[in-house]
Amino acid sequence: MPGTIEITSPEIDVAKDKKSKEADTPGYLVVCWNDPVNLMPYVTHVFRTVFGWDRTRAERHMREVHEKGKSVLVREQFEKAEFYVHQLRKFALHATLETAE
Amino acid sequence: MKLVSREADRLVFKLSKREHEALMTTLRLAPLFPRGESPISRDSTKLGEQVPSAQADLDEALADHRLEQTEAITRLLTDPKRCTKMGAGAWKLTLTVSDADRLLQVLNEIRVGAWEKLGRPDFEEGSRPEVTEENFLCFWAFQLTDVFEGQLLAALDGEEPESESEGGTEDDSDSESDSGSGPKPDPDAGK
């Protein structure tokens, strides 16, 4: 058959690939903790402003903070997670940077 | 304080004389309620050697941010083009959306600072610190920021402007002798 192309499958080192993916996985969590001072609509507003979320998503996280004491907002690489903590703290929310483990 | 018009990026509020005084006094109280810093992480041990520099970066960023925001709001509220005295003692405050957001942040800093100075009470859980001469300004600021923040949030959330003739901001503007709102706070008290 004319034009036959021989295809060679790439050798995949599964173990190495898995290790590489783990290294790429964002390992830092931005957590917002409940406090009895920030108004609920304010917290929703801040989440929408900082993350650009729609109202539904922002309110879901706000309720989680209020009802469960905390909400994991995003999981990111260190620099980006740190950036979000800075933004949330600028609005006086109690946000911290935690490792995902 | 009520939203009276919204044009593109501009929000126009009308404040009675008493509301204007309350807003300005609240903002002047900011130095009385310096914010305490808190750790960047609840479990710093897991963040390891990154913690000291991350904490220092955060503290520096917040200090700079608070100073910039406060200065920007002070400039805005003393700019006669943005904060204009109208007839009968009322005031017109014109804010861009970003100004409104900035004012919201500054007020919330004061609110949280006042709450920290009150000992971080959980009002929802029934904590009711006794009002004293020393802390009444904290309560005052806490309540006032609640009111102003609510109005700014409603406006930022797309609330329809009220017509100027509608209720909401009573015209108590010229009643200099009005003493019905309780003691006037002294911004220098508690320093």
Instruction: Render pLDDT for B120-172 as a digit per residue (tens, 0 to 9).
Output: 999 888 888 888 988 999 999 999 999 999 999 999 998 888 876 554 444 44
Residues of B in contact with A37 (CB under 8 A): 111-112, 115, 120
Q: Where are the beta strands (DSSP E) in chain B?
A: 2-7, 10-15, 83-85, 91-96
Give pLDDT, residue A72. 98
Contact A39 B41 (CB under 8 A): no
Q: Which domains does chain A have, with CATH numbers?
A: 25-99 (3.30.1390.10)
- Which of B40, B120, B125 faces A85 most closely, judged by CB atoms? B40
Residue A29 touches partner B, C-beta closer than 8 Å: no
* Angstroms from A61 CA to nearest CA on chain B: 18
pLDDT score recorded for residue B161: 82
**Contact residues, chain B, for A36 at CB < 8 Å:** 115, 120-125
Higher-scoring residue by pLDDT: B52, A76? A76
Q: What is the pLDDT of residue B47?
A: 78
CB contact under 8 A, A39 and B122: no
Domain count, chain B: 1
Low-confidence ranges of chain B (pLDDT < 70): 164-191
* SS3 sequence of B40-109: CCCCHHHHHHHHHHHHHHHHHHHHHHHHHHHHHHHHHHCCCCCEEECHHHCEEEEEEHHHHHHHHHHHHH
In a domain, B72, yes or no: yes
What is the pLDDT averaged over residues A14-21?
57
Q: What are the tokens at B16?
A: 């009675």
User: Is B83 a domain residue?
Assistant: yes
Of A31, A42, A49, the CB nearest to B108: A42
The sign of the dihedral angle between the CA atoms of B127, B144, B174, B133 is positive
Is B44 a member of any domain? no
Please name the amino acid found at residue A40: M
- Whether B59 contacts A86, CB under 8 Å: no
Beta bridge partners of B161: none
Tell me, what's the pLDDT at A14? 59
pLDDT of residue B177: 39
Check CB contact under 8 Å for B47 and A49.
no
A33 has pLDDT over 90: yes
In a domain, B183, yes or no: no
The pLDDT of residue A6 is above 60: yes
Stretch among A22-31, A51-60, B85-94, B140-149 having the lowest mean pLDDT: A22-31
> Taking CB atoms and an 8 Å cutoff, what residues of chain B touch A96?
39-42
List CB contacts (< 8 A) between B100 and chain A.
none
Structure tokens at B95: 């804010």
Mean pLDDT, chain A, whole residue set: 87
Does residue B22 fall inside a structural domain? yes
Tell me the residue range of the domain where B150 lies. Answer: 2-37+51-162
Q: Is position B190 within any domain?
A: no
Domain assignment present for B191: no
pLDDT: which is higher, B127 or A29: A29
Residue B74's pLDDT is what? 92
Q: A89, B156: Cβ pair inside 8 Å?
A: no
Phi, psi of B21 (to 5 degrees): -60, -40
pLDDT band with cut points at 50, 70 and 90 for residue A24: low
Substitution target in B38, B98, B128, B143 with the highest count of A β-carbons within 10 Å is B38
Q: What is the ipTM of this complex?
A: 0.82
